[in-house]
Amino acid sequence: MNKFLQKLDTLGLLLLVGAALYYSVTDVWDKWALSLAIAGGLFFVLGTAANYRQIIQSLGKRSTKYASNYIFSVLLVVAIVAGLNFIGQRHVKRFDLTAEGTYSLAPQTLQVLDKLDRDLEIQAFFPGGDYPRLRDLLVNYKARNRRVKYEFVDPDKQPDVAKLNDVTVYGTFSNPFTGSQLKFGTVVLRYGDKKEKIEKRSEEVREEDLTNAIIKVQRSGVKKVYFVEGHGEKDINDSERGGYASAKKALEDQAFKVETVNLAREGKVPVDAKVLVMAGPTNEPFSQEMQFVTDFMNAGGGFLLMVDPSPSPSLEAFAKSWGVKVRNDVVLDVSGAGRLMGAGPTIPLVLQYETHRITDRFRSMTFFPYARSLDSSGETISGVTVEPLFKTNPNSWGETDIKSGEASFSEKTDVKGPLTLALAVSKEVKPASEGSPAVKARMVVVGDSDFAVNAYFPAQGNGNLFLNMVSWLGEEEDLISIRPKAPQDRRVILTQSQQSMLRLLVVFILPAVALVAGIFVWTRRRR
C-alpha cells in the first residue's frame, strides 16, 4: 500500500499535464478537464505526503540535481508543445482544397461573426453529449471570434438542462435508403437577452443554419418584406417549380418577416413595410397603385421590380419616372451558355458584375430565363442615380421581333450586347441632419422574375443575388455576401465494367506486382 501511495505523485503530475494539454487544444474547460485537474492535484498531494521523508533526504544528492534538470527539461518541452497548441488554436490556418470551399466559412458568416460585440453562447443538445461534425464547425466559429462560447449537452444525462431550454428534439435518424444513421438534436443560441433555437430531425445542422440563427439574435427589430399580389405575380406560397416559396423561406431565414399585400384593396403600402417586391406581374397595375409605390419610396422604402418580356407589362411609365428605360425585347445569348442549363439562347448567363454594394465580392454565375433588357433613360432626374448591376456577354442581343418563330440579329431594330439586365436606383429624399442619417429611396429593376423561382433559386448564384438585392433595399448591407452552401453529393458512379476493372486492379494485379517484385528481390539477394 505504501509503495502504491509513493507513486501517486507521478500519476498526479501526468493527470495535471493531461488536463493542461486538453484545455490548450480544445480551449474548453469542461467537466473532463476539471476532473483531470482535481484528480491530478489530489494524487500529487497524497503522493508528496507519502514521500516527504525521501524527498527531504534526496534534496542534497547529486542525482537529485540531475533528476531535477531532467524533470525541468521535460516540463519545458511539455510547456512549449502546449503553448504551440494554444497559439495554433487561436490563430487557425487552414487550406481548403475542395472545389466549393466545403471546409471554409462563407464570407457572410465571417461578416456576421465579426459583428459580435458580446458573448454568443451556444448549447448543442445531442445524444451522447457530442457530435464531431458540428463540433468541427463550432471550432471554426470560435477561431474566428473568441466571443463564441459553446458546449455540448447530453439531454438524457442532464434532463434538467434540457427541460430548462425546452429541448425535446434529439435522437438518431436512420436513413431508409442508405441504412446509415445520423444523430440529430437541438442547438440553442443566446446573445444578450435574445434566444434562438435550431431544431433538426432528419438532417445535420449546417453552417447556413448557424449563421442565420446568429443573424436573428443580432437583430434589434424585424423588417418586413411585402410581395405585391393581384396582377398575376409569382406566389410566395407556391412550392412548385414556378413559385417563390424558396425565396420566402430564404428571407425568413435572414430574419425578415414576409407577407403579401394587395395595393388596390389596401389603398397604400403598409406603414410597417421596409421592402416592397413586385415579382413578374402579368397584368398592368393601376396607375394609382404605382403612385402608392412612389410615395412609399419617397418615404425611404425599397422597391424590387421584376418585369418579364411581353406580353407581360413593362411598367414603362413608372420606370421612366425613375430614370430607367425598359426595352420591349427578349435577350438572346448565342454563346452556347444556355446549354449548361439544358436550354437554348433564351437563357443568358452572367459571369461579370459591375461595381455596386449588391454585387460586392460576388463571383458566382447567374442566369436569367427569358429576360428583357434595361438601360438608363438618359434623362437627368434631380437626385436620382441609376447604376447597372450586370450585363450579358457580347455574344447576345435584344430580339425585338418577339412574335416571329425565328430569330436573327437585325442592326436596324435589335440592340447588340452586352445588354444590361438589372439596374440599381437611389435618390436622397431627406438629407442627413445632426443625429440622423440621410433618408434614401432605393429601387432595383430586373428584366426577369424567373431567375428566383423555386427551380432556379438554389442554382449557382441566383438565390444569393436575390437576397443581396433585398438586403440592400432593406438597408441591411452587412448581409450582402456569398451565403453558405449546402454540401453537394459528389459520388463517383462506376459502370459494371469499370467496377470489374477496378476490382481486378486492386485485388489481383497490384498484389501480383508486389509479389513478383518481392520474389525478384529475394532471389537477387540469395545469389
For the ranges 226-235, 255-264, 426-435, which has the lowest average pLDDT? 426-435
pLDDT exceeds 90 at position 504: no
Most confident of 20-29, 126-135, 317-326: 317-326
pLDDT on residue 79:
77
Using DSSP, state whether 195 is helix, strand or coil.
strand
pLDDT exceeds 90 at position 424: yes
Cross-strand bridge partners of residue 446: 306, 422
pLDDT on residue 7:
63
Contact present, 449 and 308 (Cβ < 8 Å): yes
Tens-place pLDDT, residues 451-467? 999 999 988 889 989 99
- Over residues 1-10, the mean pLDDT reads 60
Residue of 328, 316, 349, 306 lying closest to 402 (CA atoms): 328
Q: How confident is the model at residue 248 (pLDDT cuts 50, 70, 90)?
A: very high
pLDDT exceeds 80 at position 397: yes
Bigger pLDDT: 446 vs 100: 446
Q: Which helix (DSSP H) or strand (DSSP E) does residue 188 occupy?
A: strand 186-191
For the ranges 54-58, 202-206, 396-400, 466-470, which has the lowest average pLDDT? 54-58
- Rounded CA gap, 27 and 86, in Å? 8
Residue of 459, 483, 239 lying closest to 366 (CA atoms): 459
- H runs (alpha helix) in 299-334: 316-321
Cross-strand bridge partners of residue 384: 427
Angle made by CA atoms 20, 47, 65, in degrees to the nearest 5: 80
pLDDT exceeds 70 at position 198: yes
Residue of 212, 163, 223, 222 lying closest to 189 (CA atoms): 212
Determine how many CB atoms are found less than 10 A away from the CB of residue 430: 14
pLDDT on residue 313:
92
pLDDT on residue 5:
55
Query: What is each CA distance from 89 to 17, 65, 123, 282, in whole angstroms?
Result: 18, 36, 21, 56
Q: What are phi and psi of 336, to 5 degrees?
A: 90, 0
DSSP state of 494: -
Q: What are phi and psi of 165, to 5 degrees?
A: -100, 10
Contact present, 236 and 260 (Cβ < 8 Å): yes
pLDDT on residue 255:
80
Grid cell, residue 333, equals 445569348
Determine how many CB atoms are found less than 10 A away from the CB of residue 498: 11
For the ranges 109-118, 262-271, 383-392, 419-428, which has the lowest average pLDDT? 109-118
Torsion sign (Cα): 237, 243, 246, 252: negative
- Rounded CA gap, 32 and 308, in Å? 61
The reported pTM is 0.65
Query: What is each CA distance from 101 to 45, 167, 450, 491, in whole angstroms?
Result: 50, 32, 28, 17
- Rounded CA gap, 250 and 108, in Å? 14
3-state secondary structure 196-239: EEEECCCCCCCHHHHHHHHHHHHCCCCEEEEEECCCCCCCCCCC
Bigger pLDDT: 438 vs 229: 229
| Architecture field, domain 107-208 | 3-Layer(aba) Sandwich (3.40)
DSSP state of 329: -
Q: How confident is the model at residue 70 (pLDDT cuts 50, 70, 90)?
A: low
Rg of the chain (C-alpha set): 32
Tens-place pLDDT, residues 428-454? 888 877 767 778 899 999 999 999 999
pLDDT exceeds 70 at position 186: yes
E-assigned strands of 241-350? 256-261, 273-279, 302-306, 324-326, 330-333, 349-350
484's CB contacts (< 8 A; 6+ apart) are 105, 106, 108, 109, 206, 207, 208, 211
Most confident of 98-107, 182-191, 292-301, 338-347: 292-301
pLDDT exceeds 70 at position 406: no
Top CATH class, 224-479? alpha beta
State the average pLDDT for the chain.
Answer: 82
pLDDT on residue 69:
66
Torsion sign (Cα): 480, 245, 270, 381: positive
- Over residues 391-414, the mean pLDDT reads 79
- Over residues 261-290, the mean pLDDT reads 94
Tens-place pLDDT, residues 43-61? 777 776 666 566 555 555 6
Q: What are phi and psi of 352, to 5 degrees?
A: -125, 150
pLDDT exceeds 80 at position 359: yes
Contact present, 448 and 369 (Cβ < 8 Å): yes
